[in-house]
């Protein structure tokens, strides 16, 4: 089945680390993505991880993938007020030559100064 779940809300203080979690159900996913959406804006691709990797680090962002538990997380180090946004995880399902994205519900990250 196609279902991606995220917690709805996370509040952190500026300078702390944020961890946003995601669970997915389709084991055939090849790539998993994190997107950021600021108010009134489109979706910005932050990072992605291939399903045979456990971890990927990109500056302040660290993605961890537990394929056995179908669990994905995004850690933002030294969170800033500019990181306040909705974060979506998405899995890419390959089938019939398409790689449509299945999105999670989104997590609203609120960063308190």
Partner 1 sequence: DSGVTQTPKHLITATGQRVTLRCSPRSGDLSVYWYQQSLDQGLQFLIQYYNGEERAKGNILERFSAQQFPDLHSELNLSSLELGDSALYFCASSGSGRSDEQYFGPGTRLTVT
* Binding-site ranges for partner 1 (CB under 8 A): 31, 33, 35, 41-45, 48, 50, 88, 92, 96-103, 105-106
For residue 42, the minimal CB distance to partner 1 (Å) is: 4
Query: Residue 17: which residues within 8 A CB-CB, separation 6 or more?
Result: 75, 76, 77, 78, 79
First to last CA, the chain: 40
> Which is nearer to partner 1, 5 or 16 (by Cβ)?
5
For residue 112, the minimal CB distance to partner 1 (Å) is: 25
Query: Can you give 4-16 as a three-state secondary structure string?
Result: EEECCEEEEECCC
Strands 9-13 and 107-112 turn out to be: parallel
> Which is nearer to partner 1, 16 or 38 (by Cβ)?
38
For residue 21, the minimal CB distance to partner 1 (Å) is: 17
């Amino acid at each position: 089945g196609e279902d991606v779940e995220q917690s709805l809300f996370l509040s952190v203080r500026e300078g702390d680390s944020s961890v946003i979690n995601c669970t997915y159900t389709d084991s055939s996913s090849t790539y998993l993505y994190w997107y950021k959406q600021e108010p009134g804006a489109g979706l910005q691709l932050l990072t992605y991880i291939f399903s045979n990797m456990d971890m990927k680090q990109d500056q302040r962002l660290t993605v961890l993938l537990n394929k056995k538990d179908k669990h994905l997380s995004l850690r933002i180090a030294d969170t800033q007020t500019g990181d306040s946004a909705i974060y979506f995880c998405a899995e890419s399902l390959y089938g019939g030559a398409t790689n449509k994205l299945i999105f999670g519900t989104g997590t609203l990250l609120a960063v308190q100064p």
